[in-house]
């Protein structure tokens, strides 16, 4: 089940922060409409491009309907989440349903079928994954330093 549903244009693609698999990319979207979740004007999501993990890639400058889930403080998505390109057709925005052709009568879903859009929050979303890894390594370093100091003092007291 998606925690965030929105349409937006891909404005940047970067390698993910530390702590993610190497095939994971951070995609930032300029959000145009939102239907669910805490969605900002600039919202970033993580997605793996590795096919074994239901990987997906997005093209910079393209518009998509995104279904993302909250995981470890970050929004993440994959190919199995029904993300779809958004195209203009007959004056309407249409999301091309995965697994169907762009041509034909039952190939897309008019975005108005999703109902009323919710308020898009000003600002940009924060990616938290890398910060947790940094905090972990700082904590581990401090713990190791504390142990080394304790061990040195203990040895000097025995002499």
Convert the pLDDT of each residue in 6-38 to its tens digit.
999 999 999 877 666 778 899 999 999 898 988
Kindly report, residue by residue over 78-123, the tens digit of the pLDDT.
988 888 888 777 766 777 655 444 444 344 555 656 666 767 677 7
Of 27 and 134, more confident: 27
User: CB pairs under 8 A, 24+ apart, for 30-34?
Assistant: 31/6, 31/7, 31/120, 32/6, 32/7, 32/8, 32/63, 33/6, 33/7, 33/111, 33/117, 33/120, 34/4, 34/5, 34/6, 34/7, 34/117, 34/118, 34/119, 34/120
- Say if pTM beats, i.e. exceeds, 0.85: no
């Amino acid at each position: 089940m998606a925690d965030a549903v929105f349409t937006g244009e891909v404005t940047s693609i970067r390698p993910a922060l530390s702590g993610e698999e190497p095939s994971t990319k951070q995609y930032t979207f300029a959000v145009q409409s939102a239907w669910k979740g805490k969605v900002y004007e600039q919202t970033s999501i993580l997605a793996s491009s590795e096919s074994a993990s239901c990987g997906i890639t997005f093209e910079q400058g393209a518009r998509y309907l995104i279904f993302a889930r909250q995981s470890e403080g970050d929004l993440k998505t994959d190919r199995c989440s029904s993300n779809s390109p958004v195209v203009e057709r007959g004056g309407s925005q249409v999301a091309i349903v995965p697994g169907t052709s762009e041509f034909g009568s039952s190939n897309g879903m008019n975005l108005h079928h999703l109902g009323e859009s919710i308020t898009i929050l000003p600002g940009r979303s924060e990616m938290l994954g890398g910060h947790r890894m940094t905090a972990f390594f700082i904590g581990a370093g401090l713990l190791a330093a504390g142990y080394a100091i304790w061990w040195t003092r203990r040895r000097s007291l025995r002499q």
